[in-house]
Every structure is written in structure tokens, then in C-alpha cells.
Amino acid sequence: MTKLQARKTALDRVKRMSAERREWASDCITDALSGLEAFRRARKPFVFLGTSTEPDTEQTIGLLLALEREVSVPVVKDGAMKAIRITPYTNFRRNKWGILEPVGGGEVYAPDVAVIPLVAFCGLNRVGHGGGFYDRYLAGREIVKIGVAFDCQAVEDADFEDFDISLDALVTEKRIIDADGERINIFGVDQ
């Protein structure tokens, strides 16, 4: 399956989810993330702010801010992604893709955990939106890469290239996949 086919298949599935189902799944993903050792140990987490076709990460970010972590979110400027620190008082605006970005804030140069969006996945391989921003940002960094997605975004045999960055773990509302294999997400028992 090409990346384009994988994106279309996964996005069609997400669009068929009700708003209530996406909210429930996002809550399950936040609960599962908070149980991961790498997430609990993170001091400088880098977390995306999603769109309506991605899990909502606002609760995750709120939890990290409440734990007084140095939270950063992505900002794309001049074709490059940066991790910009946020606080509970940060103001945001929408960028050209409709994604919230902080107004102001300093760059965090060495995040230790990245919570990453994706459009589709096959095991620990992710298919992104196609811009390569995360692949370029994460290349060569010592950072734990955790993808989050709705379980319906899983695809079979998608094409991946050498420059595609693999994940260290992937969390959905139903399962957690990591180097040790796959396990059921106990928080994600269907409603």
C-alpha cells in the first residue's frame, strides 16, 4: 500500500468516527500515555496540538503542565519545526494548516520525549501528513518517540522509506505497541 493510499484509508475511517467516540478514545489515549514509564519520567516533553482527525492532546498537555514539566509544542517556520515552550498562560493562534501554535515562547533544544501525530501506522512505522517535518526534526536526536492514533488508523503493509523515523511506542485507545510487542490498553475497553 502506498503512503497516499494509507493516508486515504485511515482518514476515511477517522471521519466515520463520531465526535463522542473521538473524545472517548482521546481520553483513553491520555490515560494510557500517563502510565508509560518514558512519559512519567519525561522532564522536557514535546507534544503536538492536534486537528479534528487526530487524538486530542489538550488533557495530556494539561497533565504535564500540572506536573510542572517543561512542555513544548511544535511551531513550523521557514520550513523547519521547532519545539517552543508553553505555560498555562500561553496564548495561541492557528497556523496555515489550522493547527494551534503558541504566540511567543522560547525554544526547547533537548526535549526528552516526543508525542507525535500520524495519519496511519503499521506496527511502529508511521505515515505522517507528508511534509516530513517530524522526520527532519527527530532525525539524529536522542528522544523517545511515542506516536498516538486512533486504532482505526492501522493499515497493512504500507510503504516506508529509509528517512521515515520509526516510533519507540505507539498508543491507541485499544492497545500499546512497543519494542516488547503489543498489549491491550486496559483503559480502552469499549464503551
pLDDT in tens, 61-81: 999 999 999 999 999 988 899
- The stretch 90-112 carries a mean pLDDT of 91
Q: Which are the contacts of 115, defined by CB distance < 8 A and separation ≥ 6?
A: 33, 39, 45, 46, 47, 48, 57, 60, 146, 147, 148
- Residue 164, phi then psi, degrees to nearest 5: -70, 125
Q: What structural domains and CATH numbers belong to the chain?
A: 3-188 (3.40.50.10420)
- Residue 12, phi then psi, degrees to nearest 5: -60, -40
Q: Is the pLDDT of residue 46 over 90?
A: yes
- Residues 97 and 157: their CA atoms lie apart, in Å, by 28
Burial class (CB in 10 A: 0-12, 13-18, 19+), 40: exposed
User: For the whole prediction, is pTM greater than 0.95?
Assistant: no
| pLDDT at position 191 | 46
- Residues 154 and 131: their CA atoms lie apart, in Å, by 20
pLDDT in tens, 13-33: 999 999 999 999 999 999 999
| pLDDT at position 177 | 93
- Residues 86 and 28: their CA atoms lie apart, in Å, by 24
| pLDDT at position 23 | 95
